[in-house]
Amino acid sequence: MEYMGLDLHGITELVDVRGRKVFSRYPQSVNEAIGHTTAYQLNCTEIRLVPLSDCFITLESLGHRHSSKVMVYYGDYAYPEEYLFTKEVTIAIRPMTFHESSLLKSLEHPLDFSSNVVRILISSENVFIKAISGNYRLPDRFEVPLLKMMAYGTSITQGYYPTAVDLTYPNIVAREIGADLVNFGLAGNAKCEKEVTDFLKTSGKYDIILLELSVNMLMMGFSADEFRERAEYMISELMKYQPKAKILCMGVLPFYGDHGLIGPRDVMISDPQTYRNILKEVVESKMSINLVYLDPMKACSIGDMSTDLIHPGNFGMIKIAHYITEHLKQK
């Protein structure tokens, strides 16, 4: 989405919520159709621009439960400071230099993003762009990775709980393989609704699609048959509308449910292994070399989770990413 001459990467619409304009990762029509949505949580979205002079961007925090947090990348180079704010923050952005000298040509584009592209990575519920000054332009297609990747899943995919937004497993995978990621993970949701599938399948043209399906459906009391029906529809439609994409389907990652524990709000009527087996069966029934089932029990262990025993910590995210990357590198 383009807004104020900026590329709002991973953001689809400017929507009205309780009389306030906010950014949304999904169209409002989808948000309304699925009811509860975390599409307004902008974790793993980016504000992108190419500064032509010194620029100043002021961000307003719209979070209610937590402070807002962003970090800045110059292409693939991380700026060594995070910005944590409760009301607003002004970030100074300028063309990248080395001690006031121009970068060597060999350092301008060492990996997949050009260092010309400033990327403000959002790790919070919602922020709004209050003002921007200076001269800047949109990145062009050759300044960002040509390989396109999309991810969908639960809060684990959206990016909870590593300590920094660049440590989510989709972000690590994208960097390892040189891909431009759009993250459509839905914390507290990821119920594979038809409306979500119908949006995802036409939301862009992708080379790689990551699906993490879906511990939330299990905990919310969806039966095995309901899970099979929704997962089948999502996978079939993505294969139809994204015929050239490599689709990797990862089942329910290790969590407390594997140890006989039940959370206070859980209403499970199935079990984790049944869900994993169903997803594996759906994938294998398609008999496509572009569709792969990833065994979540090999991706990480319960010891890689945070103290809630369901969301991976930093090491868990890194292990999941490496497991996925190894599959993607196989010919």
The yes/no answer on whether domain 147-329 falls in CATH 3.20.20.70 is no
For 2-137, which CATH superfamily applies?
A: Galactose-binding domain-like (2.60.120.260)
Residues 6+ apart with CB under 8 A from 73: 79, 113, 118, 119, 121, 166
CB 7 within 8 A of CB 138: yes
Residues 6+ apart with CB under 8 A from 192: 213, 214, 217, 227, 230, 231, 233, 234
What percentage of the chain carries pLDDT values higher than 70? 99
Residues 6+ apart with CB under 8 A from 180: 112, 144, 145, 146, 147, 148, 149, 174
Question: Can you give the residue ranges of every domain in the chain?
Answer: 2-137, 147-329
pLDDT of residue 331: 58
Say whether 310 sits in a helix, a strand or coil: coil
Cis peptide before 74 (omega within 30 of 0): no
User: pLDDT tens digit string along 59-81?
Assistant: 999 877 678 999 999 999 999 99
Report field, pTM of the whole predicted structure over 0.85: yes
Q: Which of 30, 50, 49 is nearest to 40 (CA)?
A: 30
User: pLDDT tens digit string along 143-190?
Assistant: 999 999 999 999 999 998 899 999 999 999 999 999 999 999 999 999
